[in-house]
Amino acid sequence: MPTTKSILILCACWLVAFKPSPPSIISRERADELLAKLPAGDPWVRSPDASTLAWNESPTLHALADMYEATNDPHYLEILARRGQQLLSHRDDRRNIADGSGKIRPGWSMASKYVVATGKLGDIIDVRSTPSAYNNQTTVEVIPDNGSFTVVVNNKFFKRKETFTGLSLDPSDARFVEKVINDPIAPYSCAAGEYTDKSNLIRVKVQKKGTLAAQTITLHPVPLAYSGYYGVIYQPMLRFAEHVKKNPALASLVPAADSFIVAATSSYDDIIKRLWREGPGKNEGYFLTCEKGESFPADNVGAPFNFQARQVCAMLALHRLTGKQVYKEKAEKICRMFKNRLRYDSEKDLYQWNYWFEPMTTTGWQPADNISFNVKVFKPYAITEDVSHGILDIAMIAEASKQGVVFDNTDLKRFANTLLVNVMTPDGCDMRRRVDGSGPAHPAYFNQLHGWLELAPGNEKVFTVIKQAYLCKQEESFVFCARLLKWEQKLR
């Protein structure tokens, strides 16, 4: 007859044997757990900036659309509808807020580290930043000194300090503050160190004569309804709209879908009118970063390839949803402009490409060219695209190839080879920094690897390799898990 001890041992073994196992790292159950762990509340409230919506909220909306495609459960679309409406409520025109242009745009203003920043030294001197970013960390100190004054400029991010002594407000003086501080060929970049020569952080403009008091100011970002984020923000909402419009069972979500379409249409109709440019080549086109004199540091030039790319995704969706040919025409010209600048490696059968295009990568410009108000001089610099921003390019290629717009299955295979040969590290657990495969592993970009899954139709090995990397790395995210589940379902 079994003893009490043996019965307890058997019970313990039974409990261990039948203890529910933890969910698979790639499963709907695990994705739902990760979704539940996302920060509660409106992300805009925590950080009221367009970059928050582009880089934090938009990926979540994409993941919700991915979960719907993986499970066919409208619950995920219901969440997307709610969050999307919340996101739209923060658009500048919905809040009746003007950006730095003084105009109210159908977009979202960014006003942190990615724009020009300005300040005033009393009502005597206006100050404007010159570098490409982090201008919100620039401080300007005035130290009066027996009829002259000293200006000390600091930027903690760039680790740069500039000191200008014996300054005057008299234009005829050799130490006139504008002559001493302003650099007519100030570069777009910014070097670290301590300097007493021309400023690489600010330029100044004397507005009136007077006496400067001792003071320290921090430059304030000039808000910009940055159109480069439109494609990033709108694409998941337009994915939602396409699902809803195709499925009568989702009729309750039609009002949300319609509101997303109307919102995106108003935004794109505005920037096509203001910011669209034909060229640089025949049957090519692109969007400017912003109008000349607005606060994107490199104003009045084409936005980088990656931002153009997400515009393509949104405009192709708008074409499908509205039937308006203008969206497809613009998307096709951007795609052609990008494809014409790809570098094909015939030995490896893959593509490489740059972050930007001409004139940034070829001739640059000088003050006499009068191209940019903010950046007087730009030395040409052809930097290869990084694998994080590169997922925006990959999204364009995937979407365009579905419609036979410029790209085809051969292109998908070549971009897939870029991932398999150049991007992934030999151990299969990480990715390099740039699409040419240069440099060591760059772990900071790992959670963007999910974006390369869109190349799976060109080579199913893409899915296998990325899935194994996710399992190897064990850096979980709702966005990554949802994208894996979507492609697992699609490739069955």
Tell me what pLDDT residue 84 has. 99
- Cα–Cα dist 293/297, whole Å: 9
**Predicted confidence (pLDDT) per residue in 43-75, tens digit:** 999 999 999 999 999 999 999 999 999 999 999
Q: 257 and 319: one domain?
A: yes
Percent of the chain that is helix, strand, coil (3-state, to 5): 45, 15, 40
- Cα–Cα dist 115/221, whole Å: 6
Q: Domain for residue 6, yes or no?
A: no
Q: Which domain-ending residue is among 186, 221, 256? A: 221
pLDDT, average across residues 132-155: 98
Tell me what pLDDT residue 23 has. 67
Q: Which domain-ending residue is among 161, 194, 221? A: 221
Q: 479 and 362: one domain?
A: yes
**Which of 454, 366, 368, 363 has its CA nearest to residue 411?**
454
Query: How does residue 20 score in pLDDT terms, banded at 50, 70 and 90?
Result: very low
pLDDT at residue 16 is higher than 60: no
Average pLDDT, the chain: 96
Q: Domain for residue 475, yes or no?
A: yes
Q: Element (H or E) spanning 230, and its range?
A: helix 230-246
pLDDT at residue 7 is higher than 90: no
pLDDT at residue 14 is higher than 90: no
Tell me what pLDDT residue 268 has. 99
Instruction: Report CA-CA distances (Å) from 253 to 79, 236, 239, 299, 337.
Output: 11, 15, 13, 39, 37
3-state secondary structure of 235: helix
Give the rounded percent of residues in the chain with a pLDDT score beyond 90: 95
Domains contained in the chain, number: 2
Tell me what pLDDT residue 4 has. 53
- Cα angle: 141, vertex 144, 145; to 5 degrees: 135
Q: 322 and 435: one domain?
A: yes
Q: 294 and 194: one domain?
A: no
pLDDT, average across residues 250-254: 99
Burial of 259: CB neighbours in 10 Å, binned 0-12, 13-18, 19+: middle
pLDDT at residue 3 is higher than 90: no
Tell me what pLDDT residue 384 has. 98
Q: Which domain-ending residue is among 221, 242, 261? A: 221
Structure tokens of 79? Answer: 């969440």
101: CATH = 1.50.10.10
Q: 241 and 314: one domain?
A: yes
**Predicted confidence (pLDDT) per residue in 72-103, tens digit:** 999 999 999 999 999 999 999 999 999 999 99
Q: Domain for residue 209, yes or no?
A: yes
Q: Domain for residue 3, yes or no?
A: no
Query: How does residue 10 score in pLDDT terms, banded at 50, 70 and 90?
Result: very low
Tell me what pLDDT residue 15 has. 41
pTM: 0.94
Q: Domain for residue 17, yes or no?
A: no
φ, ψ for residue 452 (rounded to 5)?
-75, -10
Q: In what order do the strands lie in the sheet with 215-218?
A: 193-195, 160-167, 148-155, 138-145, 215-218
**Predicted confidence (pLDDT) per residue in 204-226, tens digit:** 999 999 999 999 999 999 999 99
Q: At what angle do helices 28-36 and 478-490 cross, to 10 degrees?
A: 150
Q: 357 and 391: one domain?
A: yes
Q: 77 and 217: one domain?
A: no
Q: Domain for residue 13, yes or no?
A: no
**Which of 360, 346, 369, 377 has its CA nearest to residue 302?**
360
3-state secondary structure of 334: helix
Q: 170 and 50: one domain?
A: no
Q: At what angle do helices 75-88 and 230-246 cross, to 10 degrees?
A: 140
Q: 322 and 395: one domain?
A: yes
Query: How does residue 22 score in pLDDT terms, banded at 50, 70 and 90?
Result: low
Q: 131 and 248: one domain?
A: no
Tell me what pLDDT residue 5 has. 52
Tell me what pLDDT residue 2 has. 52
165: CATH = 2.60.40
Q: Domain for residue 15, yes or no?
A: no
Give me the domain span that covers residue 124: 117-221
Query: How does residue 12 score in pLDDT terms, banded at 50, 70 and 90?
Result: very low
Q: Domain for residue 2, yes or no?
A: no
Give the rounded percent of residues in the chain with a pLDDT score beyond 70: 95
pLDDT at residue 6 is higher than 70: no
The total number of residues written for the chain in this structure: 492
Q: Write the single-letter amino acid at 37.
A: K
